[in-house]
């Protein structure tokens, strides 16, 4: 499971290559239009090579002569560039994206990092690798607070989830585990997928998955789930914790994450109290101290 930071850093070699191609194209274009410029640049290059040899030979007189020649050539070169309005940096590699200067991240006015719009491809790949391949159309901007006629409740849940993601939310005894409980068909999956995508957009490592799928996820991913910045497990229910080895896998993940205070959200249609009384014992112990996200919670 690759994080967005890893994906962007892997693509830097590709960006560097395109920067170099653009530079070479630019140089060829300028030299074609102004062959006298190419001639001077060739001479300068030649003189610099000769100077290198003169330095090794410790031939001070020759060095001085070459220095004067280079100086004259540069003055001539500057004149041609100025007279023809040529970009003086035509032979320097330039950033492909001015917004992020090819780093892949831009800084918001509040100082937070965000993935730059030039890295849409890496972002989509990361969503897919982070459990969200089936939700490519889910976007936060399409989440409507007033859907189902409960604008304040829906807005509150959205903000609570974002607070958990940003580390601004604390359950009563500072547990990093949260239960998001809401009636069926109220858009919980849509919202949590969008929050998970927001996490990745902010440069964090995150994963969205169904609770029961913990038993079919590969061991590499399971190991990653213990350490990523933000984890959402959907369709959480007491019966799921009793299915196969889901209970022990989940318990293990939650224990490692709690030790590093990494936020985890369990999404469920059931009330928290009911889950606490019916779940696998190891899980219910953790649930009782978990924070609650719901329309009613304060
Ligand atoms: Zn950019």
pTM metric for this prediction: 0.84
Q: What is the pLDDT of residues 124-137, one digit of tens each?
A: 999 999 999 999 99
Residue 149 has pLDDT above 80, yes or no: no
Q: What is the pLDDT of residues 173-207, one digit of tens each?
A: 578 999 999 998 889 999 999 999 999 999 999 99
Q: What is the CA radius of gyration of the chain?
A: 29
Residue 296 has pLDDT above 80, yes or no: no
Buried b (16+ CB within 10 A) or exposed e, 109-146: eeeebebbebbeebbebbbebbbbeebeebeeeebeee
Residues 3, 205: Cα–Cα separation, whole Å: 5
**For residue 138, how far is its CA from the centre of ligand 1 (angstroms)?**
23
**pLDDT the model gives residue 110:** 85
Mean pLDDT across the chain:
93
Q: Is beta strand 291-293 parallel, antiparallel or unpaired with respect to 177-181?
A: parallel
Beta sheet of 230-234, edge-to-edge order = 206-210, 230-234, 264-268, 177-181, 291-293
Q: What is the pLDDT of residues 13-65, one digit of tens each?
A: 999 999 999 999 999 999 999 999 999 999 999 999 999 999 999 999 999 99
Residue 102 has pLDDT above 80, yes or no: yes
Adjacent-strand bridge partners of 69: none
**For residue 96, how far is its CA from the centre of ligand 1 (angstroms)?**
8
Number of residues that make up the chain: 298
Average pLDDT over residues 280-286: 92
**For residue 124, how far is its CA from the centre of ligand 1 (angstroms)?**
15
Residues 70, 51: Cα–Cα separation, whole Å: 10
**For residue 104, how far is its CA from the centre of ligand 1 (angstroms)?**
5
**For residue 285, how far is its CA from the centre of ligand 1 (angstroms)?**
46
**For residue 120, how far is its CA from the centre of ligand 1 (angstroms)?**
9
Residue 172 has pLDDT above 60, yes or no: no
Closest CA to 176 of 255, 268, 276, 236: 255
**pLDDT grade, residue 297 (50/70/90)?**
low
CB 75 within 8 A of CB 115: no
Percent above pLDDT 70 for the chain: 98
**pLDDT the model gives residue 154:** 87
Q: What is the pLDDT of residues 225-255, one digit of tens each?
A: 999 999 999 999 999 999 999 999 999 999 9
**For residue 199, how far is its CA from the centre of ligand 1 (angstroms)?**
18
């Amino acid at each position: 499971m690759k994080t967005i930071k890893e994906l962007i850093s892997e693509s830097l070699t590709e960006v560097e290559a395109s920067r170099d191609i653009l530079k070479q194209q630019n140089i060829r274009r300028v030299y074609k239009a102004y062959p006298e410029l190419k001639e001077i640049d060739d001479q300068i290059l030649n003189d610099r090579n000769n100077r290198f040899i003169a330095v090794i030979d410790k031939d001070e007189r020759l060095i001085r002569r070459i220095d004067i020649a280079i100086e004259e050539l540069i003055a001539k070169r500057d004149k041609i560039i100025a007279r023809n309005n040529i970009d003086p940096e035509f032979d320097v590699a330039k950033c492909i994206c001015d917004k992020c200067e090819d780093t892949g991240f831009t800084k918001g006015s509040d100082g937070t990092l965000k993935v730059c719009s030039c890295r849409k491809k890496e972002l989509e790949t990361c969503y897919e690798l982070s459990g969200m391949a089936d939700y490519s159309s889910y976007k936060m901007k399409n989440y409507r607070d007033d859907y189902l006629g409960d604008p304040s409740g829906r807005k509150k849940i959205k903000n609570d989830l974002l607070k958990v993601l940003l580390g601004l939310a604390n359950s009563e005894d500072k547990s990093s585990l949260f239960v998001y409980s809401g009636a069926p068909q109220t858009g919980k999956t849509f919202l949590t997928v969008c929050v998970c995508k927001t996490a990745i957009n902010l440069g964090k490592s995150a994963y969205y998955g169904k609770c029961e799928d913990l038993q079919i996820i590969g061991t590499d991913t399971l190991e990653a789930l213990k350490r990523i910045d933000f984890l959402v497990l959907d369709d959480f229910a007491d019966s799921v914790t009793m299915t196969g080895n889901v209970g022990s896998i989940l318990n293990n993940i939650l224990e490692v994450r709690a030790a590093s205070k990494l936020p985890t959200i369990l999404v469920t249609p059931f009330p928290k109290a009911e889950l606490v009384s019916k779940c696998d014992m190891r899980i219910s112990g953790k649930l009782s101290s978990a924070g609650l996200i719901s329309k009613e919670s304060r």
